[in-house]
Structure 1
Amino acid sequence: MPFDFPLIATIAAVFLLAGFVKGVIGLGLPTISVGLLSLVMAPAQAAALLIVPSVITNLQQMRPTATLLPLARRLWSMMLGVILGTLAAGGLIAGANAAGAAAALGAALVLYAAIGLIQVRFQVAPRHEAWAAPVVGGLTGMVTAATGVFVLPAVPYLQAIGLEKDALVQALGLSFLVSTLALALTLSGAGVFTWASVLTLVPALAGQVVGQWLRTRIDAVTFRRWFFAGLLALGAFLALRWLLA
């Protein structure tokens, strides 16, 4: 990527914002960064810039406590599904139809935002986890491979299986980490991965620190409402831009 100060400043600002959102509500880094950067570059390039900050921030979010290993045992089939789904659909985001990938990303953002705004609450009974976990993982992997965003359907599923607050935060970090590494493999195989992603770590971490600091000082409910409303508008724009092209 040639030196382009306006583009570099835009990338830094986007990752600062994305890190801030993740610091406040525990997710949103890939959704914000890939969603906004897809306005100025191909989704595959945006996803490639996400890899390093996503790995580091999710390692931090996982916090290796005594609950992590039992949680990993409970979710291993979902994580395997994420890997297999991403690899099976690998290259979709880096394929020839970049505009279609951006539209798919827009549709995913609209769906995710709608679920968040209407506060849909799903419940999955423990007896169903054996088959539901790998299915959800596989679908999440395919969405990841197509859009670079790995919140659907993983996040609603993890919220539906009854995890306590701290365990849910850890589970989200684990899911996002596995999704990020699987995405990195597919982007590397497609020749898209770039070590420029290391540079985006600085604004992402800075934003996350500020977001964590503000987490207890702002109304999280109001923030989440505006966050999902913004995602809805962004997703609709990405999808409509492709439909009207």
Structure 2
Amino acid sequence: MAVTDTAIDRIKEMIVAGELKPGDRLPKEAELAERLGLSRNSLREAVRALALIHVLDVRQGDGTYVTSLSPDLLLETMSFVVDLHRDDTVLDFLEVRRIIEPAAASMAAIRMPDTAIAELGRHLSQLGDDPDVDQLVANDLEFHRMIAQGSQNAVLCSLVESLSGPTQRARVWRGLTQADAISRTLTEHQDIYEAIRNRQPDIAAATSTVHVAGVEQWLRTTFAETR
């Protein structure tokens, strides 16, 4: 294992063990290097690496601190990696969405506050009966984000938001090329909303599965025809 990797693991162990907690300031560089049995150069490289993934926050002239370690902050790195995806991996992202979004809808049906559910309904009604594709996709992204928030699971919410972007182009493409895509999406959104509003977690999960699977199946068919 590279020396820098060892340094990263040592700092990670301190955080996991509770020696360093969110918001804590790291000991001075010389002191921490000696304590961990590392060179100061290796320690600096480890700190830089951990700062890049938002585990540490280096404040010039002040010191280095452990961040809040909140899921949304730590998962920002995954968002960066996701943004580098190629078009031929979009089906992989849709498969993952088909797994996690029904779970989010099911949890939202149980946990989402009444006020948030009412806001979800108002969000859907803003579209009207004849939106264009851009309006539909923008509304769709926010619709799924609101449901993920309603799950009241910060990790799940961050994952849903990270995975929505890579499939956006596929949704636009479907809206432009499939005759009933817009009306079908509106109906499916309404079904998901009604299941959440009526506190029916199993139905919310099932309707969400149908919704995401529809885009996935259309894309698989389109790719097969293209090839």
- For the criterion TM > 0.5, the same-fold answer is no
Q: State the structure with bigger RCO (CA 8 A, min sep 6), 1 or 2.
A: 1
What TM-score comes out, normalization by structure 1 length?
A: 0.26
Structure having the higher Rg:
2
What TM-score comes out, normalization by structure 2 length?
A: 0.28
